[in-house]
Structure formats: C-alpha cells, structure tokens
Amino acid sequence: MNRPLLAICDTERDYCRRLDEYLRDHLNLSFEICSFTDAEIFKEFAEKKIPALTVLSQSVYASLSDKGMMREMRNVLVLDEAGSYVNENVGQEEEKNVIHMSKYLPAGRIIDGILDFCVKIPEGIGNLDAEKGAGKVKLLGLFSPLSRCGQTALAVKICEELAKHGKTMLLNFDSFSMVTEIMGHDAEEDITDLLYYAECEEAKFSVYLERIKRAARGFDFIPPAKTASQIKEITFERILSLSKLLSETAGYEYIVLDLSEFPDGLCDILRACDRVFTIVGESRTESYKITQYTKVLSQNGYDDILANTVRCLLPDEGSYDELSAYASNMLVREGIISE
C-alpha cells in the first residue's frame, strides 16, 4: 500500500525525536513518518518528494518561507514557538492550507490538531486506513432481558481478555450508559457522529475514527449515544456497515456489541453475531424473564440465536479478578481465544 508521507522538521533535536516517537506510537493512521532536524536536508528531501502533510516548527517554517521553499508545499501544520503569532499572509496560507498551533501543547493535543487538519483537507490526504486484520472479524454480542445484571461489566472484561489476542473494539448501545464512567473517559462526539461521518465521508472514516474513539484497558471503545431515541436510529444495517469498516479499514479483529433492546433490528443483530452471551439469574423473577425471552425468540423463528447463545451465570458480587477469570475461561471454552 502506498502510504501518505508525514514529514516533521524541527531543529530542536530532543523535541523532534519525542514528537516522532509519540506520533508513531499514538497516531493510528497509515502515514509514513520521516523526521528532520536540519532544515536544509528537509528542503532537499521535499524537493524530490512533497509530503502529504508537513509539521514544521515556526522557525523552520519562517526560514523556508524566506527561501521561497513553501511555494510548492500544501497542508502544513506550523508549531508556533512564540507566545503569540501575527499572521501577515492570511490569504496565502489559506490557499496553501497552512494552520498554526502552539508547539508547547501536550503531544495528545498535537495529534488532535493533526486529526482535525486531516478532516478539513477538502480533497483528502490519501489512503490512511490501517492494515487489515489477520482474518475475518469476530462479532460478539451481549444481550439479556434482565436489568442491572452486570452486562456492561462483563462486556468490559471480555474486551480486556480479547485485547490480549487481537485488536478489539467495544460498542455499547445502552441509554445513559455507564461505560464512559467505567472506562474513565468522556467525549463530545459519540457513535452517532461516527456513523454520520461514515455514511457521508467514508474515505475519511479512519481519521474520524481516530478522533472519536477512546482507549483504555488495552482495547478501544466508541462513546455511546446518550438516549434511547438516538440508539433506536442505529439500525441493524448501520451496525453491520460500521463493523465492516472497523474490520476492513481499521484492522479490528474482535468487535463486542453490548446491546440493549433499543437498536432497531435487535434479533437480526444477534443473528449476525458469531456468539451471543446472555446473563441469566437464579431468582424466580430472573428465570421467568429468561423463559419469556427464549419463547419470544423461538416463536419468531430465531432458534438459531438460541443455539448460538452462551448462558452466563456471573459470580455473586464477584471481585475484579473473579470476573476476569470468568470471562477468560468462558472465551477459551467457547473456542474464541486460546489459553
């Protein structure tokens, strides 16, 4: 795959090295990254191969501009070193797609700036998709008619175990979900935004994904929609389309769906899963609900879902380690992962 080139040039050697390392470790887009600490060497390199995106320190940018080098370059992120920056060439910079941000922001904020920049480039920046997974993605669903049964906690534990074996994504479909609190993250954009971008600008899906997703405990998750009305708009077809994009353009090998009754076409979603995990209970009320759920599936022609369902009786108020062991043993027993 011909990867777009991202070039960095900063004469401050330690800063350039640290930024290069951070981008390689945390910018999960398929850029080829080259770094330079000498403006002249960068100038000679860029005369032969113009980068798709260039990150320059303010001093390097000023030096190259004075030499007329910037005439051929587009898509430049300038890391300003001064406390304030007075732009005397607004029109020219807009034409060449040059933007500025402080050099002294946290590295994560610089990545955010790069992602926003990639989104705003009108013609796109080339193929930024990740490598595909080693094989067919495994789609695992969790659904139970029982409320407050620990399903999201189990989903998180399953993802932790899967992440030891491959790239894993958690998608949660519960209204007012606690998953962002459990994972220690919050965000302005959520899965509804990602679905919108995927349908309107599929070519930039990988960039939007990197901007919206969050990572913790070894796996990634998309912040969930907040209300039931939003979740109802996430249809079976949209979930399958999103899963395909996550697998084919972002390389996910495991996708875990933490489901509620709200997504439209719930039974079709469960039918599409490689395995369904349903939490059961031992009380009279819990047994009744599970029996009724089973009857509804059987009476509506979804016996295949029942045959593909793993019933999960969780440890009573189990500890962190107990729930982890439960999830691990279950995944091994079902042949989803190996010991």
Mapping DSSP onto H, E and C, the string for 166-229 reads CCEEEEECCCCCCHHHHHCCCCCCCHHHHHHHHHHCHHHHHHHHHHHCEEECCEEEECCCCCHH
Q: What token pair was written down for 74? A: 């587009």
Q: What is the largest CA-CA distance in the chain?
A: 81
* Whole-number Å distance between alpha carbons of 147 and 174: 11
Give the residue from 261, 224, 255 showing the smallest Cα distance to 242: 255
SS3 286: helix
User: Hey, which CATH number is domain 5-120, 3.40.1480.10, 3.40.50.300, 3.40.50.2300, 3.40.50.1980?
Assistant: 3.40.50.2300
Q: Which residue has the higher pLDDT, 252 or 178?
A: 252
The helix-helix angle for 320-333 and 151-162 (nearest 10°) equals 60
* Whole-number Å distance between alpha carbons of 1 and 48: 20
Q: Is the pLDDT of residue 318 over 80?
A: no
Model confidence, pTM: 0.86
Summarised one tens digit per residue, pLDDT across range 268-310 is 999 999 999 999 999 999 999 999 999 999 999 999 999 999 9
pLDDT tier at 93 (50, 70, 90 boundaries)? confident
The CA R_g of the chain, rounded to the nearest whole Å, is 24
Summarised one tens digit per residue, pLDDT across range 59-68 is 999 999 888 8
Summarised one tens digit per residue, pLDDT across range 112-168 is 999 988 888 766 677 787 655 556 899 999 999 999 899 999 999 999 999 999 999
Fold adopted by 138-333: Rossmann fold (3.40.50)
What is the amino acid identity at position 214?
Answer: R
* CB contact at 8 A, 222 and 171: yes
Which residue in the block uniquely carries the two structure tokens 């022609």? 301
Pairing of strands 5-9, 53-57: parallel
SS3 139: strand
Summarised one tens digit per residue, pLDDT across range 205-222 is 999 999 999 998 999 999
Residue count (the chain): 339
SS3 163: coil
Can 5-120 and 138-333 be said to share one CATH topology?
yes
The domain limits of the chain are 5-120, 138-333
* Whole-number Å distance between alpha carbons of 222 and 231: 13
Element (H, E) at 328: helix 320-333
Q: Which residue has the higher pLDDT, 132 or 94?
A: 94
